[in-house]
Amino acid sequence: MRQCAPYIKKHSLPRPGIFCVPSIVKTFAVQSSFSQCFPFVVKLLQGYYLDNTTHLYHMTVDRLVNQILTDPYSVISIYVGNRRIAPSYVNALDYTQILGTLTSRPMWMFCSRYSGQTREIHLLDHICVDGRMPRQERIVRNVIQTHVYNHAHLTGHHTGAHKTPVYIFKKEVDLCKGVVPLVQTKVYTFVLRKTPIQKLPLNYRLCILNKNHEQLWKAIYAKITAQFEIAVMTNMVSTLDWLTNERYSIFATVYKTPGAPESVHGVYIFEHTHISWEQPEMEVAPYMLRLAGSICFDDSPMNDPNKLYFFRGFLHSLRQMLCDSKIFGVLEIPQMSHNDWILSKWRTKYEMKNETDMAYYLYNMVYPRSPIMANRMMILG
């Protein structure tokens, strides 16, 4: 029996109704003239995107626009309650009254199991509602469904065809009930402590990627998209910015065998979350660092069947991160990509602070045999 390939659930446009309400949700391109709303969006995210009793989200307009929503087709939706938005009066909106927001940005979904199935999807993020509002779940549904409707019209202007886009979004703690996730896993948080680590073996070195390593990063990017069953990545050109901005720090362990050129063995991608833990018992620096993803090259000449050197490369990468920046005292590791090999050794030695359920869901697309194993997927956006 032939295996079914990924497919789109609905090509037709969503319709305005009870939850899709274009009159109270405005969607526009991030690079448009409506940028005057960003300070108010950022203020909303700072106040309600995370639980402020335990965490602070240090979002800024510069980070939102110049590090995250960098793609020219990134879009943002704002919810203004029952204030009807007439098209001719959009510029006169009182942005101080924004009660909800959502962003989305283009990504590429590479499916190595299905040739020819690479497609553009959009990452839904920063889904946030003013915590003082009643009926918050309904507002979230208003924002999401109207965003889909408005976004379909916006993308139609660029492509000439109005179709419902495909999205991917993350849920933590309270997962979606009755919905099959693309992948379901755990996220582990650890308090960082100083511990001794062993030296790297001979002919094995750590490389910190910067603007001089574009060709190396292009090779790593191609390897990620080929080695994982699913890789969801920003387009190649946009990821080159990661080599110079402060959002990601990328490390690679490189091995050289006699008479042969150097080969990459492991890659470790750290994300600066700009989240701090505000807890009285914390005795370390409060900012949280995330191991967004890692990969151990399956064709590396390095003999490492137990992933000991792969783990040791991670330890040296982390130590370099902590030497370069003294603000990090908490490490978050999602059990995705090859992070599970790192976690299997890390968890036996280091103090765990928290364990959380996490899942990624596809909207308007079905991937056969979901959920897939978390170590067969990487997402970087």
Both structure tokens of 255: 């091995």
Query: For 59, which DSSP code?
Result: -
196 prior amide bond cis, ω within 30: no
- Distance of alpha carbon 327 from the chain centroid: 21
CATH 3.30.450.30 correct for 185-380: no
What pLDDT does 281 receive? 66
- The amino acid at residue 290 is R
What pLDDT does 1 receive? 37
Burial 143-160 (b: 16+ CB within 10 A, else e): bbbbbbbbbbebbeeeee
The string of DSSP codes covering 189-236 is EEE------PPPPTTEEEEE--GGGHHHHHHHHHHHHHHSSEEEE--H
What pLDDT does 175 receive? 93
What pLDDT does 82 receive? 55
Q: Phi and psi for 296 in degrees, rounded to 5?
A: -105, 115
pLDDT tens-place string over residues 288-323: 999 999 999 988 878 888 999 999 999 999 999 998
Which single residue is written with the structure tokens 């927001």? 101
Q: Where in the chain are the domains?
A: 7-165, 185-380
For residue 233, what are the β-bridge partners? 108, 380
What pLDDT does 15 receive? 77
Nearest Cα to Cα of residue 168 among 371, 310, 26: 371
Distance CA 199, CA 201 (A): 6
Nearest Cα to Cα of residue 191 among 329, 339, 316, 343: 329
Q: Which residues of the chain have pLDDT under 50?
A: 1-2, 84-91, 157-158, 160
Distance CA 353, CA 263 (A): 36
Q: Indicate the helix (H) or strand (E) that contains 41.
A: helix 38-48
- Distance of alpha carbon 201 from the chain centroid: 33
Name every residue whose Cβ is closer than 8 Å to that of residue 231 and which is 6 or more positions away in sequence.
Answer: 109, 110, 112, 224, 225, 377, 378, 379
Q: Phi and psi for 360 in degrees, rounded to 5?
A: -110, 140
Query: For 173, which DSSP code?
Result: S
CA dihedral 59, 63, 67, 68 (to 10 degrees): 40
Query: For 18, which DSSP code?
Result: S
Superfamily classification of domain 7-165 = Gcn5-related N-acetyltransferase (GNAT) (3.40.630.30)
Secondary structure (H, E, C), 321-338: HHHHCCCEEEEEEECCCC
* Fold: same for 7-165 and 185-380: yes
